Structure 1
Amino acid sequence: MLERARTLDAGDPLREFRDRFDVAEGVIYLDGNSLGALPKATPDRLEEVVLGEWGQGLIRSWNSADWITLPQRVGAKIAPLVGAQPHEVIACDSTSVNLFKLISAALAMRPGRKVVLSEPGNFPTDLYMIAGLEQQGLAERRLAPREAMADAIDENVALLMLTHVHYKTGAIFDMAALTEAAHARGALVLWDLSHSGGALPVDLNACNADFAVGCGYKYFNGGPGAPGYLFVAERHQIEVQQPLTGWMGHAAPFAFSDDYAPALGVDRMLCGTPPILGLAALEVGVDLIAEIGVERLYAKSQQLSEFFRQCVSEHGIELEIVSPTDPARRGSQLSFRHPEAYAICQALIARGVIGDFRDPDILRLGFAPAYLRFEDIAEAARHLTEVLETGEWQRDEFRERAAVT
C-alpha cells in the first residue's frame, strides 16, 4: 500500500499545499477536524499585527489598519465557501455564543412557538444552549432521531437546529430536504456548519437556509479558540434581533448613545469588541482554504478516507465503522467503535499518529486534505494495525484520562 500511496501522492493536484502548513516531521495529523494545522503564513501575519499595527500603530490601527471592519471582511471571505452572499456572513464571537444569539432571535421571530427541535447526540453545546433558554422559560427542547426528524416538525416548532455533519459519526444531513420540510410547517432552520465549513461544499442559499453558525479553528485553520462565524439570510436581516445588544451591534457605536438602535444587516449580530489577533489569524486560514477550493478539498478527502479503509481491510483489522460507508454521505472523517478506543487513541498519539477520542467508545480520525498525503494514510493504517495486534494500547499510561480527550 505504501508504493501505491506514493503513486497517488505524485499525481495529487493539491500536493504543493502541504508545504504551506507547519506539519511537524514524524507526525501524521488526523485531527484537523478538531484543530486545524498552523498555516506557515500565520506567524508572520500575527507578528505584523502585534509589532506593527498594535505596537507602532496603537489605537490608530482601528482606522489605519482597518481593524474595525475585520468581522465583516473575514465573514465576506467565508461567505462564498458556504454558499452565501458577502453581506450575509460575519465572523465574531464563539460558535456557542453565536448559537445563543440565533436561537434567541429565531424564537422571537416565531411568537407563540417555543419548541427548538434537534436530535439526541447532537454536539453538546448546541443542546446546552437550548437548555439554557429553556431554563429562562423562553424555549422548549424537543429531540427526535434523524430518521423521524421531518415528522417531528409540527405547529409548535419555532426552530429546527441541526449540525450538518455530525461530530461523532461524520454523517451528513440532507440540508435542502429538511429545510424545506421545516419551512412547510412554518419553522425556521439553523444549521451548525462546524464540521462542514471549509471541508465540503455547502450552499446555504440554494437550500434556502435561514441561519447558520460555524467554527473558525477546524477546517479554516484559524488557531485554538479562533472566532466563529454566523449567517443570516438577507430576507431576515430587517426582522432579526439578537439578545446580546452590545455596543458593536449598534447602528452608530461611536455616537455613545444611551439607547440601543440595531445596526443594519448582519452587523447587528456583533456584540463586543472584535478579537483582532484571532480574526487576523483566521483570515490567513480562510484565504488559504479559498485558494485551494472546497470542491477540490472534499474530493481529495473522500479519496483519503476510502484509501484508509482499503489499507485497514488489507491489514485485516476488524473495527466497527460508525461513519456512513458511502463517502458522499459523510464529512471529512472516519469514526470507529471499540470499547478501548481511548487507550488505542493514546497509543497512536505516542507513535505520532494524532487522532482523537469521543466518549464513550469512538476513535475519530479526520482527513484534512490540504496537508495530508496518501503516504500518511498508509502509515497511519500500519500503526493502527500494530497497536491492535501487539496489544500496545493495554499499557497503563494509555488508559489514564487527560482533561481533554
Structure 2
Amino acid sequence: MTTTAVPPTPEHLDPAPRDAADPLAAHRGHFLSGEGVVAYLDGNSLGRPLARTLDRYPAFVREQWGGRLIRGWDEGWLGRAEELGDRIGAACLGAASGQTIVADSTTVLIFKLLRAAIAARPGRDELVIARDEFPTDRFIVERLAEDHGLTVRWLDTAHDGGATPELLAEAVSERTIAALLGGVAYRSAWFAPMREITAVVQAHGALVIWDCSHAVGSVPLELDAWGVDMAVGCSYKYLNGGPGAPAWAYVATRHLPELRNPIPGWLGAAQPFSMTEGFEPAPGIRRLVSGTPPITAMVPLADMLDEIEQAGMAAVRTKSVALTAYAIALVDALIPDAALASPRDDERRGGHLTVDHPNAARAVQRLWAEGVIPDFRHPSGVRIGLSPLSTSFAEVERGIRALAAALAD
C-alpha cells in the first residue's frame, strides 16, 4: 500500500507543550492503555478501565461476595444504587442527594421516565424529539406514541447543531406531554442550552427528559439550578463503568411523589421485605428501581467517581475544551478537504467532534487495524471522542495524523 504523505504538524500545534502544562496529566497513568492501541479516540463510546479495578474485582469477590455472602445486602449493597446515584449527582450533575439512582440500562430508564411522564400529564397527546436523536430514544418515543395514540412532533436540527430554544418554542404547546432531548448530541456534540430549553418547555406545562449519556462526565451539569425535570444517562462513556454498566436516572424532588414506575418491582416498594399484597412505592428515588441492583457491575463506576471527584468537573471541562479545540485545529491543518460537523464554539461543543469525509468508512476500518480507534457514524462521519482524564494531546496528534493519511488514501 502506498501511503499519501501528510504535511508535518505546524509548529504551533506541537502537542508537547500542551501535555507538559496539563494539570490533569497524572490521571492518564491510572488507566489501562489497551493492547496495540496507538491512539484511542473513542472514549465517548467506551471509556478505558482504571488499572486499580483489576485489583478491586478480585477483592470484591473474595471479601464481600465470598466473605460476607448474603449478609452483604444488609451491610451496604441494598443502598449502593442510591449511594452511587448521590455521588454522580454531586460530582457531575449539580444535583442534591435523593434525586439520582443507578439502575437498569439507559434504554429501560428512558422508557420508565417517558412512560411516567405520560401518566403525569393526562389529556395531552404529543411527544417532542429531534429527528436526528439517538436511535434508542426515537424508537421508544415512536413505540409509546403508537401504544398510547399520541403524536410525535419532530425537530429538524442543524447537521452541526442540536436542540435550541427557538426550535422547541415552535414545537411545544399545551398538547405536549414531554420533550426527550440530548444534552450533548451523540453525533454533532452540540451542547444544548439546557436551562433555556427547559424553561421554554415548562412554560407550556410540559416536562423535559434530558438524555445526558454524552454529557455526564464531559460537561458540567447543573440540573437542580436549571430546573430540570428528569434526566438519564449511561455510565460506560465518560464515567468509565465498563461495557454494559448500569445507567442512572435523575428525577427532581418535586416530581417524586407523582412518579409512577411503569415496571414496579419488589425493591422499588416501600417495604420490600414485607412481601405484602399490592405495590406501595418507596417514598423517594428508590421507587424507580424495579429489580435487584447489579452490585458487581457498579465496582468500576465507583472507581471512576473517585477519579472525577479528585479532579473536579471544572478542570475536566477545561481539559475537554482544550482537547477538542486542538483536534479541530489539527483537522483544519492536516485534512483541509474534510467538513467539521460539530460546533466550533467552545461553549456549545461537548467532549467529542465529528468530521465528515466521503472516505470515512474505509478510513476507520484501516485505522482500527493500525491501532488508531475513532468511531464511524453513517453515512460519512468519523467521530472523535476525547476523554479528558485518560487522553493526552500527543495521542490526539497521532490519531489525527493517521486519520489524515487514511482519508487521503
TM-score by length of 1: 0.93
1:282 aligns with 2:301: yes
Question: 1:343-373, CA deviations, whole angstroms, 9 ceiling, x for partnerless residues?
Answer: 1111122221111111122110001110111
Deviation at 1:316, TM superposition (A): 4.9
Question: 1:184-226, CA deviations, whole angstroms, 9 ceiling, x for partnerless residues?
Answer: 1110111110000011111111110000001110000000010
Percent identical residues: 38
1:33 aligns with 2:44: yes
Alignment equivalent of 1:334, drawn from 338, 348, 353: 353
- Where does residue 3 of structure 2 map in the other structure? none
1:374 aligns with 2:393: yes
- Where does residue 299 of structure 1 map in the other structure? 318
Map 1:136-147 → 2, pairs under 5 A: 136-137=147-148, 139-145=150-156, 146=163
TM-score by length of 2: 0.92
Alpha-carbon distance between aligned partners in 2 of 1:292 and 1:256, rounded to the nearest angstrom = 44
**Larger displacement relative to structure 2 (48-57 or 74-83):** 48-57
1:55 aligns with 2:55: no
- Structure 2 unaligned residues grouped into runs of 5+: 1-8, 157-162
Alignment equivalent of 2:99, drawn from 76, 88, 94: 88
- Where does residue 402 of structure 1 map in the other structure? none
- Where does residue 253 of structure 2 map in the other structure? 234
Q: Given the superposition, is the C-alpha separation of residues 2 and 17 from structure 1 closer, same or farther in structure 2, using an over 3 Å criterion?
A: farther
- Structure 1 unaligned residues grouped into runs of 5+: 392-405
Alignment equivalent of 1:158, drawn from 177, 199, 206: 177
Map 1:383-398 → 2, pairs under 5 A: 383-389=402-408, 391=409
Alpha-carbon distance between aligned partners in 2 of 1:115 and 1:286, rounded to the nearest angstrom = 37
Q: Which has the higher contact order (CA 8 A, sep 6+)?
A: 2
Question: 1:15-58, CA deviations, whole angstroms, 9 ceiling, x for partnerless residues?
Answer: 00001111136431111100010011212222122222112221
Whether the 8 Å CA contact 1:83–1:205 is kept in 2: the answer is: yes
Map 1:10-21 → 2, pairs under 5 A: 10-21=20-31
Alpha-carbon distance between aligned partners in 2 of 1:192 and 1:156, rounded to the nearest angstrom = 22
State the 4+ residue runs in structure 1 displaced beyond 6 angstroms: none
Alpha-carbon distance between aligned partners in 2 of 1:312 and 1:362, rounded to the nearest angstrom = 13
Whether the 8 Å CA contact 2:127–2:145 is kept in 1: the answer is: no
Alpha-carbon distance between aligned partners in 2 of 1:206 and 1:125, rounded to the nearest angstrom = 28
Alignment equivalent of 1:244, drawn from 244, 258, 263: 263
Alpha-carbon distance between aligned partners in 2 of 1:187 and 1:260, rounded to the nearest angstrom = 27
Alignment equivalent of 2:280, drawn from 235, 240, 261: 261
SS of alignment partner, residue 177 of structure 1:
helix
Q: Given the superposition, is the C-alpha separation of residues 361 and 380 from structure 1 closer, same or farther in structure 2, using an over 3 Å criterion?
A: same
Deviation at 1:340, TM superposition (A): 2.7
Alignment equivalent of 2:193, drawn from 167, 174, 182: 174
- Where does residue 221 of structure 2 map in the other structure? 202
Alignment equivalent of 2:57, drawn from 46, 49, 57: 46
SS of alignment partner, residue 243 of structure 2:
coil
Q: Given the superposition, is the C-alpha separation of residues 159 and 119 from structure 1 closer, same or farther in structure 2, using an over 3 Å criterion?
A: same
Whether the 8 Å CA contact 1:107–1:139 is kept in 2: the answer is: no
Alpha-carbon distance between aligned partners in 1 of 2:384 and 2:278, rounded to the nearest angstrom = 50
Alpha-carbon distance between aligned partners in 2 of 1:210 and 1:144, rounded to the nearest angstrom = 20
Q: Given the superposition, is the C-alpha separation of residues 55 and 171 from structure 1 closer, same or farther in structure 2, using an over 3 Å criterion?
A: same
For this pair of structures, how many residues does the alignment match?
389
SS of alignment partner, residue 93 of structure 1:
coil
Query: What letter is aligned with 2:97?
Result: P
Question: 1:32-87, CA deviations, whole angstroms, 9 ceiling, x for partnerless residues?
Answer: 100010011212222122222112221111123x1111100100100021111121
Whether the 8 Å CA contact 2:360–2:407 is kept in 1: the answer is: no
Map 1:125-144 → 2, pairs under 5 A: 125-137=136-148, 139-144=150-155
Deviation at 1:304, TM superposition (A): 1.1
Alignment equivalent of 1:75, drawn from 74, 78, 85: 85
SS of alignment partner, residue 201 of structure 1:
coil
Q: Given the superposition, is the C-alpha separation of residues 38 and 157 from structure 1 closer, same or farther in structure 2, using an over 3 Å criterion?
A: same
- Where does residue 19 of structure 2 map in the other structure? 9
SS of alignment partner, residue 403 of structure 2:
helix
Whether the 8 Å CA contact 2:168–2:201 is kept in 1: the answer is: no
Whether the 8 Å CA contact 2:37–2:373 is kept in 1: the answer is: no
SS of alignment partner, residue 275 of structure 1:
coil
SS of alignment partner, residue 287 of structure 1:
helix
**Larger displacement relative to structure 2 (72-81 or 41-50):** 41-50
SS of alignment partner, residue 45 of structure 1:
helix
